[in-house]
Amino acid sequence: MKTKEICIAVALVLFLGLSLFSYLGIKSDADELLGLVDGAITAIDGGDHASAKARIDEAQARWQEIRHGWELTCDHGELDTITGSFARAAAMAKSDQSLDELGAELAALAAMIEHMPVRTAPLIENII
């Protein structure tokens, strides 16, 4: 009986440890992406379309690197939505569309990115 309890305790500790490790990685990546997206939003607010485009391209390239690690623990539908939002923002920036529309797309993208660590946090409501 004692062996069974030890195995359960070890499995629980491993599960919680891996969950925490995964969450911290996603949180760090999300913070990095949010910094890039916020930089693009700041450039748009300042009317600097070229700088906004460069930030969007940089954020989209970084997303392509980050996404593969997130696929292990995140909902693929949400990841696809973020990828689509990056594609729309990049297309808007290239076509010189309204900065207001681009800013709105980036704000929605930032909200989606900010939400991902919350969804993967090792909390009871996310486990149940």
C-beta of residue 110 within 8 angstroms of C-beta of residue 34 = yes
For the whole prediction, is pTM greater than 0.75? yes
- For the domain made up of 2-127, the CATH class stated in words is mainly alpha
Alpha carbons within 13 angstroms on the beta-carbon side of residue 63 total: 25
**34-79 residue pLDDT tens:** 999 999 999 999 888 889 899 999 999 999 999 998 988 888 999 9
Domain range annotation of the chain: 2-127
Q: What is the DSSP string of 70-126?
A: HTTTS-HHHHHHHHHHHHHHHHHHHTT--HHHHHHHHHHHHHHHHHHHHHHS--HHH
Q: Which residue has the tokens 């704000």?
A: 107
pLDDT tens digits for 86-117? 999 999 988 866 778 888 999 999 999 999 98
